[in-house]
Amino acid sequence: MHEVEHMREGVARLEQAITEAVKLASPALQQVINDLQALRGIADISAVTIAAELGQVSRFESARQLMGYCGAVPSEDSSGKRIRRGGITKTGNAHLRRIVVEAAWSYRRPPGIWYGLRRRQESISEEVKEIAWKAQHRLHKRYMKLGAAGKDQRKIVTAVAHELLGFIWAIGTRAETAASQKLAA
């Protein structure tokens, strides 16, 4: 029991150190971390991890580029008119992909805003909340549709994670734009 308590205290110290490090980050990075928490399945540590792994989100010209960077795109073996697509490439950032896939599991449940998510969304703009709400509806619907088709749970979650990256890109680029406009004003 003592060892478990010791490990719990260590985790709490690390989480506190991460929170302190975020306070020292640039305003744009702080805005991205704050806004990403509007999404279901992404809280403090997940948002920090995603922001740290991506760096500047606007360096990706499109959500599709972000998906490719993460390795959450289907592999392809094509020749002439024949097109064959396989599983995801897994050639991208494995740490980012793992965090996004873990977040994607939360879209199994129907759309809703419970206490924890409501509290995280208090300081977030209405525009970002709308994107997050749209994500909940779209990703839950995708999860249910693939489940009804009899797909494997892991494949369903990977497909949902693929689309979740698109919403992460949308919120991240919007947050960086908002932060640069605040600095210019």
Ordered per-residue pLDDT tens for the chain, 185 residues? 999 999 999 999 999 999 999 999 999 999 999 999 999 999 999 999 999 999 999 999 999 999 999 988 888 888 888 888 888 888 889 999 999 999 999 999 999 999 999 999 999 999 999 999 999 999 999 999 999 999 999 999 999 999 999 999 999 999 999 988 888 87
Task: Report whether 57 contacts 82 (CB < 8 A).
Answer: no
Supply the pLDDT for residue 173: 96
**How much of the chain is in helix, strand and coil states, percent to nearest 5?**
70, 5, 25
Task: Report whether 94 contacts 115 (CB < 8 A).
Answer: no
Residue 82, beta-bridge partner list: 79
- Alpha carbon 39 to chain centroid distance? 7
Q: Where are the domains of the chain?
A: 2-184
Q: How far apart are CA 118 and CA 61, in angstroms?
A: 31
Supply the pLDDT for residue 72: 87
Residue 76, beta-bridge partner list: 85
Report the amino acid identity of residue 21.
A
Supply the pLDDT for residue 147: 97
Supply the pLDDT for residue 35: 97
Looking at the whole model, is its pTM more than 0.75? yes
CA-wise closest residue to 121 among 171, 170, 163? 171
Q: Strand ranges (DSSP E) for 38-110?
A: 74-76, 85-88
Q: Which residues, 6 or more positions from 123, have their beta carbon under 8 angstroms from its beta carbon?
A: 34
Report the amino acid identity of residue 32.
V
- Alpha carbon 35 to chain centroid distance? 11
Please give the structure tokens belonging to residue 31.
């805005």
Q: How far apart are the first and last CA of the chain?
A: 54
